[in-house]
Amino acid sequence: MDLLLNPRTNHLLAALPDAEWLRWLPMLERVDMPLGQVLYESGSQMSHVYFPLSSIVSLLYVMENGASAEIAVVGYEGLVGVSLFMGGETTPSRAVVQSAGVGYRLRAKSIKDEFNRSGPVLHLLLRYTQALITQMAQTAACNRHHSLDQQLCRWLLLSLDRLPANELVMTQELIANMLGVRREGVTEAALNLQKSGLIHYARGHITVVDRPGLEKRSCECYAVVKREYDRLLPMKLAV
């Protein structure tokens, strides 16, 4: 099966034991996830959790004046909608597709029923939630203490880790909205990375040319988040 159509391209779905996977399979619904689609709004009731395959979703906090800042990114390593099974039902953040692709979704009642079985699904989802919280906390620290250049490196690396490809389709304006900074700042930082031979950026397509160099240029925040995901979710892709 094509990796971009196989539900188990998603690492959480790949980590399900066989019994749970066979129970989930008939309940999963394949969905297109176009750029800019809002999966849920702040304070709204969630109807599904989403498992991206080839898309990336940004979790954003939006201020009263419309300004926003990204608190986490989710791709094929995880799911969107942890509030559903953590008991909150709603969240003050917004989930927006930042890189178009496809995914699968599961109804709210189904994911809550699976979580409440208190079996391997519960432990898997709790570990994932801890990793997601680490990313959120590290993002807040990074945005406060590190340069825009370092933030952009972290953001690029985290985003690429969540895609089955080595290229992002992303405008500088969208990146600026994600990071909560001015577009001019992102333009300058991206040009600096390109001049250093780390990325190639043209017409909204960002390709990492020198990944080790990009990791070296990033602050420690990327490595902290990656180590935590690797520690909590040591899984292999099932195909």
Where does the pLDDT of residue 90 fall: very low under 50, low under 70, confident under 90, or very high at 90 and above?
confident
pLDDT value at 21 more than 90: yes
Cα separations in angstroms, 60 against 122, 184, 215: 25, 21, 24
Give me the residue spans of the domains in the chain.
7-142, 147-226
Furthest CA-CA distance within the chain: 53
Residue 29, beta-bridge partner list: 105
Separation between Cα atoms, residue 32 and residue 100, nearest integer Å: 8
- pLDDT tens, residue by residue, 32-41: 999 889 999 8
Q: Do domains 7-142 and 147-226 have the same CATH topology?
A: no
Share of the chain above pLDDT 90, in %: 38
pLDDT at 4: 60
For residue 223, the 8-state DSSP code is H
Where would I find the beta strands (DSSP E) of the chain?
29-33, 38-40, 48-52, 56-62, 68-74, 93-99, 101-107, 167-169, 199-202, 205-208
Provide the CATH topology of domain 147-226: Arc Repressor Mutant, subunit A (1.10.10)
User: Could you tell me which CATH class the domain 7-142 is placed in?
Assistant: mainly beta
